[in-house]
């Protein structure tokens, strides 16, 4: 089931974070299923109703998006740069009895697939970790067939510069592998400049609970305390943008998310 192909030059920080924490991601409520996965699944459905011959999932983590894609594709290749994450995908895929799932260890920036060969590329809550999302999108553009689809879900920052900076600062202090939550306008421009046209988009929220969120990344306790204080003392603009709400010793909040389907011309 595992093929070890392609480059793993990128993703050093991601491997440092996700390697030791892989088992946490395999049981994370928000990763197993949430609104971003439900919307991605909707936008990924083939309008013709036929199964796709071949789907590639990037930054597959413990595999939950790839598993959903096995229901609508003949063959799914789940790719990730972090080996322990792929081991979780393999274990969970076996438990589910999946026979049309393959694994490939590679960075999203170096896809070990021929040009013009893949019917659909998916990626969920991973793009903001990629060292070089521009290069990953170049690769998506290269491997997709003409009229093939990129269906992507990722956390995004608000358009307001100060609010976006607050969010990215919080994210990188909690998770050293965080690179950037882009603004919707930025992400859409990156897709458009590669000749891919966004034909559908949705904006679900990613609902998070602070205590579980920092436990998943094993954030050091002194940083957890600083982050908790920053959430509790957040200015009104951040409180409203991220729906920050203290509840019984925890803090509920949510990140904005963009899910889109883009078609290669
Ligand atoms: C939050 S998890 C993804 C969750 C998963 N897509 C899902 O739907 O449950 C992020 C994943 O991105 C992977 N990753 C980070 N940088 C990467 C890169 N440059 N290339 C490929 N995978 C990368 C990490 O190893 C990690 O497994």
- The torsion angles phi and psi of 156, rounded to 5 degrees, stand at -130, 160
The predicted pLDDT at position 2 comes to 45
pLDDT digits 0-9 by tens, 248-265:
999 999 999 999 999 999
Asked if 255 and 164 count as a contact pair (C-beta separation under 8 A), the reply is no
Q: Which residues of 77-102 are buried (b: 16+ CB within 10 A; e: fewer)?
A: bbbbbbbbbbbbbbebbeeeebebbb
Check pLDDT > 90 for residue 10: no
Atom of ligand 1 nearest to the CA of 66: 8
What are the sequence ranges of the domains in the chain?
2-210+254-264
Residues 6+ apart with CB under 8 A from 85: 18, 19, 22, 25, 60, 61, 62
CATH 3.40.50.150 matches 2-210+254-264:
yes
The predicted pLDDT at position 264 comes to 98
92-112 average pLDDT score: 97
pLDDT bracket for residue 5 (50, 70, 90): very low
pLDDT digits 0-9 by tens, 168-197:
999 999 999 999 999 999 999 999 999 999
| Ligand 1 centroid, distance to 253 Cα (angstroms) | 22
Reported pTM: 0.96
State if residue 130 touches ligand 1 by the CB under 6 angstroms criterion: yes
Distance CA 240, CA 63 (A): 32
46-55 average pLDDT score: 93
| Ligand 1 centroid, distance to 163 Cα (angstroms) | 25
State if residue 262 touches ligand 1 by the CB under 6 angstroms criterion: no
82-94 average pLDDT score: 97
124-149 average pLDDT score: 98
Q: Are strands 101-105 and 73-80 parallel, antiparallel or unpaired?
A: parallel
Residues 6+ apart with CB under 8 A from 168: 157, 178, 180, 181
Give the number of C-alpha atoms closer than 13 A to the C-alpha of residue 157, restricted to the C-beta side: 22
From first CA to last CA, the distance across the chain in angstroms is 32
């Amino acid at each position: 089931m595992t093929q070890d192909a392609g480059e793993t030059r990128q993703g050093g920080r991601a491997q440092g974070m996700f390697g030791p924490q892989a088992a946490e991601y395999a049981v994370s409520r928000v990763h197993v299923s949430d609104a971003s996965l439900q919307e991605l699944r909707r936008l990924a459905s083939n309008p013709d109703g036929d199964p796709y011959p071949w789907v590639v999932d990037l930054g597959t983590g413990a595999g939950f998006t790839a598993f959903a894609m096995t229901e609508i594709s003949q063959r799914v290749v789940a790719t990730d740069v972090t080996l322990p994450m792929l081991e979780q995908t393999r274990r969970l895929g076996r438990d589910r009895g999946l026979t049309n799932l393959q694994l490939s260890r590679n960075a999203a920036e170096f896809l070990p697939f021929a040009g013009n060969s893949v019917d659909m590329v998916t990626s969920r809550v991973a793009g903001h970790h990629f060292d070089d999302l521009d290069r990953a999108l170049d690769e998506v553009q290269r491997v997709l067939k003409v009229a093939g689809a990129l269906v992507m879900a990722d956390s995004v920052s608000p358009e307001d510069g100060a609010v976006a900076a607050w969010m990215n600062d919080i994210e990188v202090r909690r998770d050293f592998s965080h690179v950037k939550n882009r603004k919707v306008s930025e992400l859409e421009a990156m897709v458009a400049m590669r000749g891919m046209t966004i034909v559908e988009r949705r904006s679900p929220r990613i609902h998070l609970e602070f205590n579980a969120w920092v436990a998943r990344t094993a954030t050091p306790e002194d940083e957890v305390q600083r982050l908790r204080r920053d959430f509790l003392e957040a200015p009104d603009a951040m409180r409203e943008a991220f729906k920050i709400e203290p509840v019984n010793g925890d803090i509920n909040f949510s990140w904005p998310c963009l899910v889109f389907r883009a078609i290669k011309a």
